[in-house]
Chain A
């Protein structure tokens, strides 16, 4: 089983739609969680951290469920510019700061 698993998609949605991505992780000692965004043929960039209480950044909401070992990202009122691949990332503090990426979920927002 992969350490971090995501539905690869693609998710094809119209502008203005709400879309949600889920990610599961296998290491229960995982310390911290993040969502990254990667545009086509570019490097990944940090989108947002994921806090236990859930957190919001504009149209983006991240949730963490430690008991079920999953993380989610919700995008409301999606824009054309949201089209990208979204990568779930797990930080393993007990392995010296190892950062493990999921395979990514591709999102395509259409007019």
Chain B
């Protein structure tokens, strides 16, 4: 079975450019999470969705960040304009919500972003 699929795996861009990260959750999963991981701050929850609806976006660092989930099989995380401090690994994860083990998240392989 396909796991969570993220793209791109690696992106190097220049400050001020728009960055779009994409995620395809596991089919049938109804919760989707975006996390950011850095050495300094660890794994931070940015936003999560239940049934395509954003539930909590309090972790989104600032207005430059936005996330959408137009349907059950696709989500995007956009940064515009990007800054060097946005450099991190961005993980997307999904799970069955309250239909499965509540804490079991299935992560994608991550998108490693470098902003120069």
Question: Chain B 64-102, CB within 8 Å of chain A: the 1/0 string?
Answer: 000000000000000000000000000100000110011
Query: Does more than half of chain B's interface fall in helix, strand or loop, or is it mixed?
Result: strand
Q: B91 to A99, Cβ gap below 8 A?
A: no
Q: A45 to B107, Cβ gap below 8 A?
A: yes
Report 19 cross-chain contacts, Cβ distance below 8 Å, ordered by A residue: A31-B102, A32-B103, A34-B104, A42-B109, A43-B107, A43-B109, A43-B110, A44-B107, A46-B103, A89-B103, A93-B102, A95-B56, A97-B55, A97-B97, A101-B45, A103-B41, A103-B42, A103-B43, A104-B43
Q: B107 to A98, Cβ gap below 8 A?
A: no
Question: Chain B 35-57, CB within 8 Å of chain A: the 1/0 string?
Answer: 10000011111001010000110
With CB as the reference atom, state the residue of chain B lying closest to A43: B107
The CB with the most chain A CB atoms within 10 A, among B35, B42, B107, is that of B42
Contact residues in A for B109 (Cβ distance below 8 Å): 42-43
Contact residues in B for A96 (Cβ distance below 8 Å): 48, 50, 55-56
Cα of A100 to Cα of B43 in the assembled complex, Å: 8
Question: How far apart are A28's CB and chain B's nearest CB, in angstroms?
Answer: 18
Question: How far apart are B64's CB and chain A's nearest CB, in angstroms?
Answer: 22
Q: Taking A43-B109, A104-B42 as contacts, is the C-beta distance between A97 and B48 under 8 angstroms?
A: yes
Interface size class of B (residues with CB under 8 A): 20 to 34
Cα of A103 to Cα of B40 in the assembled complex, Å: 9
Cα of A99 to Cα of B49 in the assembled complex, Å: 12
> B-contacting residues of A (Cβ < 8 Å)?
31-34, 42-46, 49, 87, 89, 91, 93, 95-104
Asked whether B108 is an interface residue with its Cβ less than 8 Å from the other chain, the reply is yes
Q: B48 to A49, Cβ gap below 8 A?
A: no
Contact residues in B for A45 (Cβ distance below 8 Å): 107
Cα of A25 to Cα of B41 in the assembled complex, Å: 16
Contact residues in B for A104 (Cβ distance below 8 Å): 42-43
